[in-house]
Amino acid sequence: MTSKALLTLKEASKKYGSREVLTDISLTISQGECTILRGSNGSGKSTMLRMVSGLIPLTSGQRLLEHSDIVIGYTPDRLSKLRMTSTEYLTHMGRIAGIAGRELKERIKQLHHFFNLEQSDHVKLTHFSKGMLQKTNIMQAMIKTPHILVLDEPFSGLDNESTGHLLHSLKVIKDEGTAILAAVHDPLLASQLESNTYWIRHGRLSRENIVPFSEHQIVYFELVGMIKRDLIDHLVELFPNVTYKSSESGHMIITFMYKDYNGFLPEYINKGGEIISLIRKELGS
């Protein structure tokens, strides 16, 4: 059965001044499907999410909606620690979305229950953990039930328990018919959800064929290190599934799967890469 197309980009491009960030992007987002965007830090993933969400205009090309009432919920990569409770924040966002009082109150209660987040009248976002903030961040995007849920780095900084709960929640949302578009810097979400995975390289979009998630554990590695940026392009050409993200401390966080372990590490070291830490991780049942 073919899913209904909700949103289509046709040969969409985005320029900032003379710099072309995205070139001739064509993509269809369909009901109940999950689409993953991958790429190195600064590759244009966030720009593409904002284009899909209608937050920034296209420089050229088309953005076509299946109908004018499509609801798109957008989650930025982080939520500020505001001096508001989650209820106060969601009430504010719901009013902006035009939801009436009693309906909004019930929706906020449902979202707290769904994401297993205590609805406190006293605890402000300033005291929330990273996982609690991320839940609230996604809740605001779902305050009006979205046809498309757009997520920018939803797993960034989450511990294993929070990651597992978020994955489960996204599976439920997807199974209920909401389309999910997520930019991630590692392959975990693509491994856990039946999804279409795309890479952004040099401003262009290409499809990646991945092996669907099985019952086996997924083994991957997270390397924190230092390497000259001009060498990353060389490594990307040799190991296209390895992902790179700059940390706030200035180090590079590199994620790669077990299959790339024996090839990537020697090449990384031979090219002058420094290892600060290397952690083996597992995800799966």
Contact (Cβ atoms closer than 8 angstroms) between residue 177 and residue 98: no
Q: Which residue has the higher pLDDT, 191 or 202?
A: 202
pLDDT at site 191: 66
CA 36 to the chain's CA centroid:
7
Residue 164 lies in a domain: yes
pLDDT at site 181: 95
Residue 144 lies in a domain: yes
pLDDT at site 213: 44
Residue 213 lies in a domain: no
Q: How far apart are the first and last CA of the chain?
A: 29
Same domain, 100 and 22: yes
- Check whether 211 has a pLDDT greater than 50: no
214 — pLDDT class (breaks 50, 70, 90): very low
pLDDT at site 212: 47
pLDDT at site 51: 96
Segments forming the whole domain that contains residue 264? 218-283
Residue 168's nearest CA partner among 130, 207, 138 is 138
31, burial (CB in 10 Å: exposed 0-12, middle 13-18, buried 19+)? middle
Q: Which residue has the higher pLDDT, 27 or 43?
A: 27
Listed residues 208, 230, 259: the one ending a domain: 208
52 — pLDDT class (breaks 50, 70, 90): very high
Q: Which residue has the higher pLDDT, 250 or 84?
A: 84
Longest dimension (CA), the chain: 62
- Check whether 217 has a pLDDT greater than 70: no
pLDDT at site 244: 86
Burial 61-93 (b: 16+ CB within 10 A, else e): beeeeeeeeebbbbbbbebeebeebbbebbbeb
pLDDT at site 197: 87
Structural domains of the chain, count:
2
206 contact partners, CB below 8 Å, separation of at least 6: 198, 199
For position 192, which CATH number holds?
3.40.50.300
- Check whether 229 has a pLDDT greater than 90: no
Same domain, 236 and 197: no
Token output for 280? 């083996």
Same domain, 71 and 151: yes
Which amino acid appears at position 178 of this protein? T
58 — pLDDT class (breaks 50, 70, 90): very high
Mean pLDDT computed over 62-77: 93
pLDDT at site 55: 95
pLDDT at site 164: 81
pTM: 0.75
pLDDT at site 157: 72
Residue 162 lies in a domain: yes
Mean pLDDT computed over 226-249: 85
Q: Tokens 């965007």 belong to which residue?
A: 37
Listed residues 208, 240, 266: the one ending a domain: 208
> How confident is the prediction for the chain on average, in pLDDT?
88
- Check whether 210 has a pLDDT greater than 60: no
Strands 19-30 and 5-16 turn out to be: antiparallel
Contact (Cβ atoms closer than 8 angstroms) between residue 35 and residue 195: yes
**pLDDT, tens only, 123-153:** 999 999 988 999 999 999 999 999 999 999 8
